[in-house]
Amino acid sequence: MVREPENYEGGDVDRRIAAGMITNKMVLSRIASIWKPGGMFASKYLNVIGERCVRFLLKHGEAPKDNFKPLILSWIERHKADKEISEGISLLLEHMHGEFGNGEELNHGAVIEIATERFHYLDQLKYIDELNRAKSTGDPEKIEKVIAAYSRVEMSDSDGSFLGDESAWQQAFEEKKKPLIRFEGQLAELGKFFDDSLEREGLIAFQALEKRGKTHWLMRLAYQAAKQRRKTIFFGAGDMSQNQVRRRLGALAIRRPFRPGTVRIPEGIEVQNISIGDKTIKRGIATSYDETSYDSKLGWQESFNAYRRMLENEAKVENDPLFVSCWPNSTLTVRDMEMAIDRLIARHDFIPDVIVVDYADIVAPPPGRMEPRDQSNAVWKQLRAMSTKRKCLVLTATQAKMKAYDADLMNMTHFSEDKRKFAHATGIIGINVDMKEKEAGACRLNWLALRENEFSTNRPCFCLGSLAFSDPCIQAAYPM
C-alpha cells in the first residue's frame, strides 16, 4: 500500500497539480473526468483539496480560484475535521500560496500531461499492492479480478471520442484568442502582424541572411514573453555565450547601448514609396529621431537593476520567468533541451510556456549517419514534437540561401538546406534588410509560410529599431 511519511504535505509535482485544479478550469475538468472516490494523490491532505475542487466544478462549472480558501475552511468547520487534518491542510496551502498565480496564464496542457504521468505512477503502486495481496490468498479468481480491473490512467488529447467535453472545445478556441506573446500600444502594428500566431503548440521561425538580426528578434521575443510573465527558456546553440546574452538583455532592459556612442531612437514611422531606376519600392522611414549620447560603457549594476525593475514593475513577479542556457557551437541537441527542461520542472517547478532556440541550423542532429539535409529535417521534426509535447511555443531561426541577396522580399524559394522545414513549422517569417536599412536599424518582416491564417508574402510589416541595445522594433507599421 502507498504510505505517506509522517506529516507528508505532498511533493512539488503534486502541489503543482493541485494548484492547477484550484486555479484552472481546463486542468480541473480533465482531472475530474478520471477522479476516483478517495482521491488520486498520495497525500490525504491533497485528496481533500482535490475532492473539494471536483465537487465545486460539478456544482458551479468553474474552478474555485479565489473561492477556494473559504470553501476549504467551511468544509473543515462542517465536518469537524480533526486537528491533524486541519493543520495539515493549512500548512499545505501556505506552501502552495506562491503557486496559485493567474490560472488563466497556466500552461494547462503541460500540467495535464504531468498529472497523467503522476497519477498513472501512483495508480501502478496501488495496483502492485492489490495484486500482491490477491496473490497471497492463492485464489486465482481474485488475481484475475484485480488484473481485469486495472487500466492505465489517461487524460491525453487523444483519449476518448472527438466530441469530448465542453472544456476541450473551449481550450482549443480560447488558446487561439490568447497568444502567449502580445505587442500592444506603440507596437500594436507589430501585434497585428503576428496576430494569434505566437500560440501554444506553435513552431515559429525567422529566416534571414547572415547578420540580419535573427538573434536580436529571438531575444526581443524572449524578453517580451518574460515581461508578460510567460515562463521562458532561451537555448543558445553556439551563436552566443551566456555572458553575451546577459549583456544584450541588460542593454535591452535599460534601453541604452553597451558601448559609448550616440544612439538615434525613432519616434515615429511612415511608409514611403522610393524610386530606384524603373522600380518603386516601399520602405519604413522615421518621422523623427531622439538622439542620446553616452560617454562610457554600460555597467553591470545598471543593467542588473534595470532588469530587476522590469520584473518588479512590468512583469510584477518575484522570481525571474526567464532561464538562459548557452552551449558551444553544434553540441546542443534537442534531447539535451528536453533533459534540461525536465530538470527545471523537477528542481524549480518551472513548466515553460515559451522555448527559444538560437538557432535551429546549428542544433546538433540526433545520433546516426544521415545526409546533411536529413539531419536538418530531423532537428526540425524534433522541435515540432517538442512544441506539441510541451504544449508551448517554440521560436527559432534559420539561414536564408544566397539567392535572397537579390530579392526585395523573400519567399518560399529562399530556404537553405532542406525545404521540409516549411512543412514542420506553423509559421516562417522573413527578415528583409537591404544595406541602407541595416545602417538605419530598419527591417521588413513578411510571412513566408503560416498555418490556419491567410497571409500575403508581399505585405510586409515595416520595423524601425536600434540594434545598439538589441531592440529590432521600436516603431512599426503594417499597412494594407
Strands of 225-268 (E only): list them: 232-236, 261-266
Confidence of residue 4 (pLDDT cuts 50, 70, 90): very low
Burial of residue 471, with CB atoms counted within 10 A of its CB: 0-12 exposed, 13-18 middle, 19 or more buried: buried
The mean-pLDDT minimum among 317-326, 343-352, 359-368 falls in 343-352
Contact 83, 57 (CB under 8 A): no
Tell me the pLDDT of the chain averaged across its residues. 87
Least confidently predicted of 159-163, 229-233, 381-385, 402-406: 159-163
What's the DSSP call for residue 180? S
∠ Cα 242 243 249 (to 5°): 90
Question: CB of 21 within 8 A of CB of 28?
Answer: yes
Whole-number pLDDT of residue 163: 64
Q: Going by DSSP bridges, is the β-strand pair 289-294/203-208 parallel, antiparallel, or unpaired?
A: unpaired
Which range, of 148-152, 254-258, 388-392, averages the lowest pLDDT? 148-152
Rg of the Cα atoms in the chain = 26
Which three cell numbers mark 56?
465545486
Cβ-proximal residues to 163 (8 Å cutoff; 6+ apart), any chain: none
Query: Quick check: 98 pLDDT over 70?
Result: no
**What is the pTM for the complete model shown?**
0.78
Q: Around 387, how many Cα atoms within 13 Å sit in the side-chain half-sphere?
A: 24
Cis peptide before 127 (omega within 30 of 0): no
Read off φ and ψ for residue 395, nearest 5 degrees.
Answer: -115, 135
Per residue in 206-219, pLDDT tens? 999 998 999 999 99
At CB < 8 A and 24+ separation, what contacts does 457-463 make?
Answer: 457/409, 457/410, 457/411, 457/412, 457/430, 458/409, 460/282, 460/409, 460/432, 461/189, 461/190, 461/192, 461/193, 462/269, 462/271, 462/282, 462/283, 462/284, 463/190, 463/284
Would you say 404 and 414 are in contact if contact means Cβ atoms under 8 Å apart? yes
Decide: helix, strand or coil at residue 158. Answer: coil
Mean pLDDT over 50-56 rounds to: 91
* Separation CA 397–CA 217 (nearest Å): 9
Lowest model confidence (mean pLDDT) among 80-84, 208-212, 306-310: 80-84
The dihedral built from the CA positions of residue 28, 31, 37 and 40, taken in this order, carries a sign that is negative
Q: In this prediction, what percent of the chain has a pLDDT beyond 90?
A: 51
DSSP state of 415: B
- Asked whether 360 and 383 are in contact (CB, 8 A), the reply is yes
Q: How far is residue 479's CA from residue 189's CA, in Å, rounded to a whole number? A: 9
The kind and range of the H/E element at 384 are helix 372-389
399-413: average pLDDT: 89
Residue 5: is its pLDDT beyond 60? no
pLDDT for the residue 446: 97
* Strand-pair category, 427-432 with 393-399: unpaired
